[in-house]
Structure 1
Amino acid sequence: MKITGYRTLRTHRNWGRPVGDVNGFIASGITEVSVLILETDVGLEGVGIGSDHGVAELFPAIEGRDPRAVVSLYDSLLARSFKAGHIGATFGGIAILDSALWDLKAKAADQPLWRLLGAEDRFVPGYASGLDIALDDEALVAFYQEMAQRGFTAGKLKGGRDAETDIRRLLLMRDALGERTRRPALMLDANESWHLKQAVRYVTEVEQAVDLTWIEEPLRRWDVEGHKRLSAQVRASVATGENLTGLEQFRALLAQGAADILQTGAVWGITHFLRVAGAALAHDVPVSPVGLTANPAVAHAAAATPNHLSAEVQDLGAPFGVTVDQEYDGGGIVLGDHIGAGITIDEALIRTEDSHGNWREAAGPHVRPARAGFALTFPSPLATDSEARN
């Protein structure tokens, strides 16, 4: 079997609510989704979902080769991007190809991907995450009540602007998730919006009212010393790493004990997740993949990872024209029996739809605001530009 080509599609996800974080939000709740279909000479095709950045430049590294040699091909993709460096958006293209390769490998073996990767249990523990900075209290409660009905007993709030507001909303989230446990796990995600002393003061205030399980991305992603110092001064675990890409970027966090929970961005793919998880396992550090809506195949890798803690579940639906063989129940993801990663694409349907969105619109969370992390006081998350200046 040889790789002969690929094709890409753009579809969208309708979240049904505004989604974002302290840096901004997408008011429409509609975001773009990239789909890649890897073609072979025997007619078997592999599907990847994520980012298709740089795919045209990367594809020659695997063209004409056997897709079942996934790990070798992943290293060839890294080598192809040598001058670009093991960093940044290039990893999106590597990851979507990698995910499609793993899908192909499992299909060739006539197995679900979770079983091919060595998992015995198809269940992946998860936590609810509403990307909820722009939700009012009523909508916030409704989201977490729905997730509680699916058995979720842990949730993550997007915050970081006002401790009193975050405390109130964390307590609302706690009550909404309290259907199955008296003490839900509560997490707070600041999305790199603080400097160290801000983080210490903020988390300390929150912890006076809330038993915080972890504080996520409190500081800039590269601040190893800051994360280590913060972890020593607060009760909550420090979770970070989701925006790091090359494996070598995680080395200092692990070597210096700066991350209590190591995160990987699901968009960076399966081989990347497995390697980061293996490095963390050697340091007795649990791992947690974020945003499995961006790359559902990573859930299969999580099922086979001994130090996997909990995976972020942001949405119960799927992108337009995409079907994923999995369910949300029991507080996590229940993977199906379809061979491969269980992803089915209706290309004809996708081509009939012209809805689109862009994570990188100026008001969205993927564009860092001016002077982020340098405010002495914080405006309301829903404040207008003029209100924020006054």
Structure 2
Amino acid sequence: MMKITGYRALRTFHDWGRPVGDVNGFVSSGITEVPVVVLETDEGITGVGMGSHQDIDRLYPALDGQDPRAVSMLYDRMLARVFKAGHAGATFGGLGTLDMALWDIKAKLAGEPLWRLLGGGDRFVAGYASGLDIALDDDQLASFYKTMAERGFSSGKLKGGRNVDDDNRRLGIIYEELRRNAAHPALMLDANESWNLKQAVRHIAAVEAVHDLTWIEEPLRRWDAAGHARLTRSIRAAVATGENLTGLEQYTPLFDAGAVDVVQAASVWGITHFLRVAYAAHSRDLPVSPVGLTANPAVAHAAAVIPNHLSAEVQDLGSPLGITIDVEYSDGGIVLGETPGVGVTIDEDEIATAAKTEASWLIKEGPHVRPDRAGLQLVAERAALPLA
């Protein structure tokens, strides 16, 4: 029996080439940390996971000495390992990173890319462009979506939610750039949990008076099933949410309340989680969209095999330092490669050069630190963000 014998935690970074963020804040340098985990076995085959180092030391004992091919069992074993303190939140990121590494090993042993191992027949995954673009000026915004239009994308998502006039103007910029590929490009708006219910209704109504909005993403706090249910009945656009739910059980209130129209799962939470969410959504005739494939490209392999995949978020065409990903971006989506495993190859020598780089999402100005009184203001507008 093959056995897991250890792991190595590495750290590299991604240079986006632009400031990245959302209504909550942004990283002006455009450089962010990318944690990497290499899972080792007694047969010399390693698995690569990307996403988080959170609580890896607590989770790893669930894997130590186990056969890495038993991915589903080991996923539940990791959940059980942290059951008492809870797997939700940041811990779920470490679990997802180890899960990716396990699937990488399993597919490498089979000599197949993961999408084929999982039963896929087509390596194309439909996608949409998403610039994490709150801090881009109008010219930068147009330039990003022009680049994505050149890759065939006909759908785009704007980070907004602060100012209706700005959102309408900027959605128009995206629309014009993507029109080369569709007479009526799909437009999405992401508010990143910044509103209360009535702010959401008023803001979306004003946007829908100008644009045919495909979906509004994370309009309210992630757990607000009643609010999302009221909202989706009050607007034309679909309500998309779920990327910050850490565990299948957290979706149940939203499903039961009829509160979500497009079910999302963040790629950083791993492959097994995405598959379970996708099939739970499929049982309710709901489409699924994975979020953030730059952070965890392996989930694109899972998206290729589920019956209810709608579109995957493509935020960037590059890859982190020392990381090679066997994918192409063309025809408005992701074309997965033939490399056995999840298609991620690492150069540890190159990654070592990033050791002294200061790069994090977790700065006080960044999108992962919630601003004071978000969703608790009479007026949502704030002064324009300064550009670096």
Q: TM-score with structure 1 length normalisation?
A: 0.97
Superimposed CA distance per residue, residues 218-267 of structure 1 (whole angstroms, 9 cap, x where no aligned partner): 00001101101100010000000110011100011112210000100111
Matches within 5 A, 1:98-117: 98-117=99-118
Alpha-carbon distance in structure 2 between the residues aligned to 1:303 and 1:336: 12
State the partner residue of 1:331: 332
Does the CA-based 8 Å contact 1:161-1:380 persist in structure 2? no
Other structure's SS at 1:82 match = coil
Letter in 2 for 1:358: S
Matches within 5 A, 1:219-298: 219-298=220-299
Does the CA-based 8 Å contact 1:3-1:40 persist in structure 2? yes
Alpha-carbon distance in structure 1 between the residues aligned to 2:349 and 2:125: 32
State the partner residue of 2:66: 65
Letter in 2 for 1:364: G
Matches within 5 A, 1:142-161: 142-161=143-162
Matches within 5 A, 1:1-390: 1-353=2-354, 354-377=356-379, 378-382=381-385
Other structure's SS at 1:83 match = coil
Answer with 209-218 or 353-362: which moved more.
Answer: 353-362
Answer with 309-318 or 83-92: which moved more.
Answer: 83-92
Letter in 1 for 2:79: L
Structure 1 residue 180, shift from structure 2 partner:
1.0
How many aligned residue pairs are there? 384
Alpha-carbon distance in structure 1 between the residues aligned to 2:72 and 2:63: 11
Structure 1 residue 379, shift from structure 2 partner:
1.3
Alpha-carbon distance in structure 1 between the residues aligned to 2:201 and 2:351: 47
Does the CA-based 8 Å contact 1:113-1:300 persist in structure 2? yes
Alpha-carbon distance in structure 2 between the residues aligned to 1:172 and 1:31: 27
Structure 2: give runs of 5+ residues left out of the alignment: none
Letter in 2 for 1:376: L
Letter in 1 for 2:247: G
CA separation of 1:95/1:32 partners in 2, compared to 1, >3 Å: closer, same or farther?
same
Alpha-carbon distance in structure 2 between the residues aligned to 1:166 and 1:347: 42
Structure 1 residue 383, shift from structure 2 partner:
5.3
Identity of aligned residues (%): 65
Superimposed CA distance per residue, residues 153-178 of structure 1 (whole angstroms, 9 cap, x where no aligned partner): 00000000011110000001000111
Letter in 2 for 1:157: L
Does the CA-based 8 Å contact 1:39-1:46 persist in structure 2? yes
Alpha-carbon distance in structure 1 between the residues aligned to 2:9 and 2:213: 42
Which contiguous aligned blocks of 4+ residues in structure 1 show a shift greater than 6 angstroms? none
Structure 1 residue 50, shift from structure 2 partner:
0.5
Structure 1 residue 355, shift from structure 2 partner:
2.4
Alpha-carbon distance in structure 2 between the residues aligned to 1:383 and 1:33: 26
Q: TM-score with structure 2 length normalisation?
A: 0.98
Does the CA-based 8 Å contact 1:161-1:381 persist in structure 2? no
Root-mean-square deviation (CA, aligned residues, Å) is 0.9
Structure 1 residue 373, shift from structure 2 partner:
1.2
Does the CA-based 8 Å contact 1:11-1:356 persist in structure 2? no
Structure 1: give runs of 5+ residues left out of the alignment: 385-390
